[in-house]
A and B are shown apart, each in its own frame.
Chain A
Amino acid sequence: MSAPTGPAPAGPATGSRARTPAVTARALARRRRREALGRFVREYARNRAGLLGLASLLTIGALALTAPLFVDQAHLTVTGAPGDSYQPPSREYPLGTDNFGRSVLDLIVWGARVSLTVGLLATFVSVTLGTLVGVTAGHFGSSGGLGGRIVSTLLMRVTDWFLVLPTLVLAVALAAVLPRGTGTIVIAIGLTVWPPTARLVRAQTLAVEARPYVERARALGGGHTHVMGWHVLPNVMPVVLAQTTLLVATSIIAESTLAFLGMGDPTTISWGGILESARTAGAISAGIWWYMIPPGLAIAVVALSFTLCGRAVESVINPRLRGQS
């Protein structure tokens, strides 16, 4: 417990009587949180695949964050390239060099920054949007009277409309219309991949709404916000979480695709962008494998790691999955 910062308790009798339970309750809450964290870590540590995914993500994340410390940004420009073009892997350049003489390893490490940022941000945008739409549509569809059903139907028709549009085409169109930049890519991906999440969340919401504890929540005076936030959302979270892990992978792949198609920000280096420059430089026909394979592998490894982590987290958070992993 921290030392008191304010003046000493004024009224000794009444003051301490009023204060003691409050402090105990806060201390209790803190201890409970600490214990919950400990339980979470223990449960997570029991999942080997989850640990592997987490380790790989942490490594990649640390590399991406600390990249400026060991990658000279001047070496990443076309003019400042340190080596000759198309040098095969060697001690100096573990993954060889590209057509300009830049180290492919440096490019990959630097590219992780953009790919991870865009993947995570786009996932956040689409999961938030999808969950919001799904829970709202599900909740008001099952317990909102006539007005609620109209809102629900409207939301779902909009979702359907987005669902039938080919994702990639819509994203390309958005990326082409909006000003170029990383933010545009995030929005283009975020706005196109949310409909499946919305449908999934709505289905789960309907299932949860039918449970007696939702009726109980209404009986104890809970309003729409309370029911949605307290009862529906926590019960929908496992599904959202599973969807998130899949979406991070999807978003990173979508980002790579857009960059590969030349819709990305040409001033930044991303894995998709590296693949694109490898293609335009004719690396495939020239047999320059060290230019093509590493970015592709990086995308696959990150996508896999996110999926493994997500599964592990889901099994910990959902008490019903506990002990089944």
Chain B
Amino acid sequence: MTSLLDVRDLHVTYSGGGGDVPAVRGVHLSLDPGDTLGVAGESGSGKSTVALALLRLLPAGTRITGEILLEGEDVLRMRWGRLRAVRWAGASVVFQGAMHSLNPVQRIGEQIAEPLLVHALVKPDRVGARVADLLEQVGLPASRRRDYPHQLSGGQRQRVMIAMALACEPRLIIADEATTALDVMIQAQILALLERLVDESGIGMLMISHDLSVLAATCDRVAVMYAGRIVEQGPAGEVVHEPAHPYASALSAAFPRIGDPASRLAPRGLPGDPPDPAQAPSGCVFRPRCAVAETVCATVDPPLWPVRPDRDGRSARHAACVHVGPGGGPERTDSARDGSARSGPDPGGPGPGSAEEEEETSR
């Protein structure tokens, strides 16, 4: 089964005024149809950059290397015309901040019809019916299509954005902080809506959020990003409730668990700030903030290891920490598979072999 989305060794470097900023450093992701993958991480971890890179929406002058295979086709090598066709028809985006992603001087019906007209997928006289259809699908009455964005509430606007994302029946939806500015009730409604749509139509969804609890509730699998790399990836429940990487556990512990007084009484934060991507520390980038750092962490940049692998060395879950490495400790890193070859200063992360293994074990 070819996966819907396969990101291999993605590197994104912004060229800013003060020099190059490597925002994403070697990310591997894969997503199957009907699957939801959550990407978590704090601000500046590169999660939105990954989302924008998928459709090459980054500002001009940004360097992107690696492979982004959307249904087997490399987005990074597409011609401009093909790229425009793939945008929205192949993969669509629900942007963060629906407040500003709608044009204030056009009616929402016209804006939902916009991708249909741009891609000429529906005959002009059928557009009205299709728009009504889409609005009903996201739980808005079709009569609201004559409204302007300012006549809608925040949740309704986000529904409009989702209707717009669904317009061309894409295979993949990228939800970039889709529920961030909404209150909790609306957030729950929007999440339920997204979940229902994914279930009904078998599309894949890449959900980006800083809110681990949102991802745990919605996604099948979760990837935790830190400083432009994935530090842990696996089934949502396992990653959120028994994280293997110290950063993932800090992120998870930052949310009090309802019904567990202990977690309320002993809140744990994470001291310090994420590293400046332009001057990342040597070895493991999380080392300066890590509570369980060892001396070896200063020199070894660990690749994604399988967590609690079975007899064949496979696992649904991977974490990039020396404590997770073969044998569970740093002392045996060098004796493990080609671990020592991949660790060290190379920030490229796991090689292609590991990516293939990732693909095999993802389902």
- Give the B-binding residues of A (Cβ under 8 A): 21-22, 24-26, 28-29, 32, 143, 145, 211-213, 215-223, 226, 230-231, 234-235, 237, 318-320
- In the complex, residue of chain B having the shortest beta-carbon distance to the beta carbon of A32: B146
| Chain B residues near A220 (CB-CB < 8 A) | 87-88, 92, 114-115, 118, 164, 168
A25-B126, A215-B101, A221-B119 are known contacts; what are 8 more A-B pairs with Cβ within 8 Å?
A: A22-B126, A211-B100, A212-B101, A220-B87, A221-B85, A221-B87, A222-B114, A230-B114
B97 to chain A, nearest CB (A): 6
B106 contacts A by Cβ under 8 Å? yes
Contact check, A213 vs B89: say whether CB atoms are below 8 A apart: no
Residue pairs across A and B with CB atoms within 8 Å: the count is: 84
Q: Which residues of A contact B92 (CB under 8 A)?
A: 219-220
B103 close to A231 (CB less than 8 A): yes
The residue that B100 contacts in the complex, of A21, A213, A222, with Cβ under 8 A, is A213
Complex formed: what's the CA distance from A215 to B305 in Å?
37
Also in contact, A25 and B129, with CB within 8 A (given A145-B60, A218-B57):
yes
Q: How near does chain A come to B61, taking the closest CB pair, in angstroms?
A: 9
Chain B 101-116 interface mask (CB, 8 Å, partner A; 1/0) = 1111110000000110
Q: A21-B129, A218-B57, A219-B93 are in contact. Are A213 and B87 (CB under 8 A)?
A: no
Q: B100 → chain A, closest Cβ, in Å?
A: 4
Closest approach, in angstroms, between the C-beta of A91 and any C-beta of chain B? 54
Determine how close the nearest CB of chain A comes to the CB of B113; give it in whole angstroms: 11
**Complex Cα–Cα for A234 and B84 (A):** 23
The listed residue (B103, B125, B129, B146) touching A235 by CB distance below 8 A is B103
Cα of A211 to Cα of B103 in the assembled complex, Å:
9
Q: How far, in Å, is A211 (CB) from chain B's closest CB? A: 6
B240 within 8 A of A: no
B128 touching A215 by the CB < 8 A rule?
no
Q: Which residues of A sit under 8 angstroms from B89, Cβ to Cβ? A: 221
Could you show 12 A-B contacts with beta carbons less than 8 Å apart? A26-B125, A143-B60, A219-B87, A219-B93, A219-B95, A220-B114, A221-B85, A221-B88, A230-B106, A234-B103, A237-B105, A319-B148
Residues of B134-189 whose CB lies within 8 A of A: 146, 148, 150, 164, 168
Say whether B300 faces chain A, with CB atoms less than 8 Å apart: no
Q: Distance in Å from the Cβ of B305 to the closest Cβ of chain A?
A: 35
A71 to B125 Cα, complex, angstroms: 51
Task: Indicate whether A234 sits within 8 Å of B114 (C-beta atoms), given known contacts A25-B126, A28-B128, A212-B97.
Answer: no
Of listed B88, B105, B128, residue having the most chain A CB within 10 A = B105
In the complex with contacts A221-B87, A230-B114, A319-B150, A29-B57 CB distance below 8 A: no
Residues of B within 8 A of A (CB): 55, 57, 60, 84-89, 92-93, 95, 97, 100-106, 114-115, 118-119, 125-129, 146, 148, 150, 164, 168
CB distance from B178 to the nearest CB of A (A): 13
Instruction: Please determine whether A235 and B101 come into contact, CB atoms closer than 8 angstroms.
Output: no
Contact A235 B114 (CB under 8 A): no
Complex: chain B residue closest to A216, CB-CB: B101
Chain B residues contacting A217 (CB-CB under 8 Å) are 114
Pairs A-B, 8 closest by C-beta atoms: A221-B87, A220-B88, A25-B128, A212-B100, A22-B125, A221-B84, A220-B115, A213-B103
A25 to B122, CA, bound (A): 13
B residues within 8 A CB of A143? 60
User: Are B85 and A21 touching (Cβ within 8 A)?
Assistant: no
Say yes or no: A215 contacts B125, CB within 8 Å. Answer: no
CA distance A175 to B146 in the complex (A): 49
Which residues of B have CB within 8 Å of A230? Answer: 103, 106, 114
* Chain B residues whose CB sits within 8 angstroms of the CB of A219 once the complex forms: 55, 57, 87-88, 92-93, 95
A222, B129: Cα distance in complex, Å = 22
User: Are B114 and A25 closer than 8 Å at their CB atoms?
Assistant: no
Closest to A36 in B: B146
Q: List the B side residues contacting A231 at CB < 8 Å.
A: 103
Q: How far is the CA of A231 from the CA of B95 in the complex (A)?
A: 17
Q: In the docked arrangement, what's the CA distance between A279 and B85, Å?
A: 66
Q: Roughly how many angstroms separate A220 CA and B103 CA in the complex, as a whole number? A: 14
With A216-B93, A218-B57, A231-B103 known to touch, is A25 a contact of B125 (CB < 8 Å)? yes
Interface centre among A145, A235, A319 (most CB of B within 10 A): A319
Cβ contact within 8 Å between A319 and B101: no
CB closest chain-B residue, reference A238: B105
Residue of B nearest to A23 (CB): B125
Determine if A215 and B129 form an interchain contact, defined as CB atoms under 8 angstroms apart.
no
A219 to B128, CA, bound (A): 22
A105 CB to nearest B CB, Å = 45
B99's closest neighbor in chain A, by CB? A212
The answer on a CB contact under 8 Å between A29 and B128 is yes
Instruction: Give the distance in Å from the alpha carbon of A25 to the alpha carbon of B126 in the complex.
Output: 7
Query: Are A234 and B106 neighbours in the complex by a CB distance under 8 Å?
Result: yes
Closest Cβ of chain B to A6, distance in Å, is 16
How far is it, in angstroms, between the C-alpha of A26 and the C-alpha of B55 when the chains are bound? 35
Q: Which of A21, A216, A222, A237 contacts B95 (CB 8 A)?
A: A216
**Residue on B nearest A220 in the bound complex, by CB:** B88
- The interface residues of chain A lying within 8 Å CB-to-CB of B86 are 221
Provide the bound-state CA to CA distance between A22 and B102, in Å: 27
B93 — nearest CB in chain A belongs to which residue? A219
Cα of A230 to Cα of B103 in the assembled complex, Å: 9
User: Which chain A residues border B115 with CB–CB below 8 Å?
Assistant: 220-221
Determine the chain B residues whose CB is within 8 A of the CB of A28 once the complex forms: 128
From residue A226, how far is it (CB to closest CB) to chain B in Å? 6
The one of A22, A29, A145, A221 in contact with B118, judged by C-beta atoms closer than 8 angstroms, is A221
Question: Which A residue's beta carbon lies closest to that of B115?
Answer: A220
Task: Tell me the minimal C-beta distance from A239 to chain B in angstroms.
Answer: 12
CA of A143 to CA of B60 in the docked complex: distance in angstroms?
Answer: 8
Count chain B CB atoms within 10 A of each CB in A145, A212, A218, A318 and give the residue with the most. Answer: A212
Name the CB-closest residue of A to B55.
A219
- Are A213 and B101 in contact, CB atoms less than 8 angstroms apart? yes
